[in-house]
Amino acid sequence: WIQHRHNNSNICCVGFARNITMYKNLREYITALEQAGELVRITTPVDNQLEICELTDRESKRSGGGRALLFEQTGTPFPVLTNMMGSDRRMAMALGVESLDSLTSRIEELFAGLTSPKPNFIDKLRMLPLLGQMARWLPREIKGRGACQQVVLQGEAADLGQLPILKCWPQDGGRFITLPLVHTIDPETGLRNTGMYRMQIFSPQTTGMHWHLHKTGERHYRAYKRLGQHMPVTVCLGGDPVYTYAATAPMPDNVDEYLLAGFLRGRPVELVKCLTNDLRVPADCDFVIEGYVDPSEEKVIEGPFGDHTGFYSLEDRYPLFHVTAITHRQDAVYPATIVGVPPQEDAYIAKATEKIFLAPIRAAMLPEVRDLWMPTAGVAHNIAVVNIHTDYAGQALKVANSLWGAGQMMFNKFMVVTSTERSVRDPKLLADLLKRIHIPDALMFSRGPLDVLDHAAPEMGLGGKLLFDTTGVDLSAPLVSAQLPYPFDLNYGITDVDCSLFDAWRALVLFAQRGSTPDVFAFLKDNSVEGVKYVLLLDEEAKHLKAEELLWIASSDCDPSRDVTIQEGIALFDCRCKADGINGFARQWPNVVASSPETISQVDGRWEEYGLGSFIESPSLHYSRLQYGDGAAVTAQVSQAGEFHTSTEK
């Protein structure tokens, strides 16, 4: 009777397990990708120093994210898999569902059951199967060794050089493990954390451990340092792709990522004990790298690294990880991801996170939130668009402050809050809203923590935030009259003007030489410009960028607390490179990520060997123009290569 009543209830727990594809290991997922036409095998030998990255960068920037790539000859016993979740379809396949929307429905059903107000006796009975289902999602330990321990390497044999670890970009500090599942435990509570922190290779048995100040791994490290104890750390690679996603997910502190993995897959994660420390890891992973961090050791210089922001993250000091054992499957595949100028694989992982964590945000924190969108151009944290139900004045401010204080949303810089029945993912709607707000009344400036990778912040990890409150906008209200002179009188340090965003956004894009001090407001006044709301000031080198690329570079290179000026209803955003102390910037400024001319030429010359189909020009030919300093010398070479391609049949 309970089961019958449950099957007819709104909770529908049995449905959680329906239509979920389960993978026993990474090889099964690769087979599924290949059968779906989502994977290409590259059988010709490739170099894991730059060549694999350049090929993956080209493929990932195809429309829709391209295909996953399996490099079978890497100069090691192990193939390399890249871009395995780099499309909407592959992201859904990795999580075992037909679409991410169906995953959202499952999570909303779950929270509807868990948060049902004042349940009566029948409602409590209906929840029994749900509670039983939840118990079955908990990770469980199994006896003996797992498939991840079929081959055991210890002592000098535990050599990281045997793995096809990539060097991705020419200015990287070395080779980096880019998809590691880093396992640590809190020494005071015993709770496990599985996070994704890149690892630079220093020697056959040592790596860096890139724990940012705000991350759980760093908090565990500080706890071991207080106790004066060695910190056990184990790193896994591969296995069921849901593990890789769970390690990236912004889980609440002290909540096991493998509980999320169990929910997403509909079965518990089976764990085995490591051989040289007391940590537990998934039995079906491809590689397990066991070891420790000694908190009494001095931190080591790590980086640079071509990061997901599209810029190199700079050198800094991080803990040193010592390897005590490497184990792996006999048929192990080495998974890697490439990050750099968006879009890349991480953009699709971020889209999944939006879908998965919207329901918890509504249930636990902000019930008024209808939708949360983080555009790809914002590299996950620079830009957020929030659609809410509004019931009272100031609600947009409340939502912004709440989100800026919630987990990884604290890294957000620019937030648009609106209230509409339409989709906020529609750029036309956003444009209609933003060009009608009243400046400065609809803007709110704040200050707080930012991602350590935010290079524009005045201090590392601390800078400005800006809210655009569009909740009171009347879309039927007429716009103020607009007037642009043609041609412009170029003076006051302005070298060029882009009007392509003016009609849609009432935004004017101005260009100036690096290091100059243009008087933008005098330029606008003397040219009798009317109706402009926003002015983006960029370097001349950015003139070739498209609208979404302008949004990427503008949100990356601008700090709201320092680079936004409001005058006479116009918001000016200084989005220029501030290297070498330009405009009084005191911190080091990173370069844009781009491939080397030699690597581009190598891949061009071998293109037919790879079997990837029609030729794809290197994206670096486009983005290297934004580089400065030593990168500018590279730019000249790359530009020549670009001119060569333009003049050939390719």
Q: Which residue intervals of 377-417 are DSSP H helices?
A: 395-404
The amino acid that residue 318 corresponds to is: Y
Distance CA 185, CA 195 (A): 11
Element (H, E) at 511: strand 507-512
> Is-contact 284 147, C-beta < 8 A?
yes
> Is-contact 44 73, C-beta < 8 A?
yes
- Provide the 3-class DSSP secondary structure of residue 381: coil
- Provide the 3-class DSSP secondary structure of residue 9: coil
**DSSP notation for 14-41:** GGGGTT----SSHHHHHHHHHHTT-EEE
Distance CA 533, CA 634 (A): 37
Q: Is the dihedral of CA 578, 639, 616, 611 positive or negative?
A: negative
Pick the catalytic residue: 307, 451, 454, 604?
Answer: 307
Find tokens 């030489």 and name the residue.
Answer: 513
CA–CA distances in Å: residue 108 to residues 126, 260, 353, 366, 549: 17, 14, 14, 14, 34
- Provide the 3-class DSSP secondary structure of residue 448: strand
Does the active-site annotation cover 519? no
Q: Which residue intervals of 483-596 are DSSP H helices?
A: 502-505, 520-526, 547-557, 560-563
**What values do phi and psi take at 568, rounded to 5?**
50, 45
Is residue 273 classed exposed, middle or buried when 0-12, 13-18 and 19+ CB atoms within 10 A define those classes?
middle
Residue 407 backbone class (left: φ over 0; alpha: ψ -120 to 50; beta: rest): left
CA–CA distances in Å: residue 555 to residues 215, 384, 386, 409: 23, 11, 17, 16
Beta strand pairing call for 199-203 and 176-177: antiparallel
Cis peptide bond N-terminal to 180, omega within 30: no
Q: Among 414, 349, 431, 460, which Cα is nearest to 564's?
A: 414
Distance CA 330, CA 622 (A): 41
Q: Which residue intervals of 424-571 are DSSP H helices?
A: 427-434, 502-505, 520-526, 547-557, 560-563
Range 574-609 burial, b when 16+ CB lie within 10 A, else e:
bbbbbbeebeebeeebbbbbbbbbebbeebbeebee
Q: Among 550, 447, 531, 446, which Cα is nearest to 485's?
A: 531
**What values do phi and psi take at 153, rounded to 5?**
-125, 125
Distance CA 282, CA 297 (A): 29
Q: Integer distance in angstroms from the first to the last C-alpha of the chain?
A: 68
Beta strand pairing call for 280-282 and 270-273: antiparallel
Distance CA 517, CA 513 (A): 9
Give the active site residues. Answer: 307
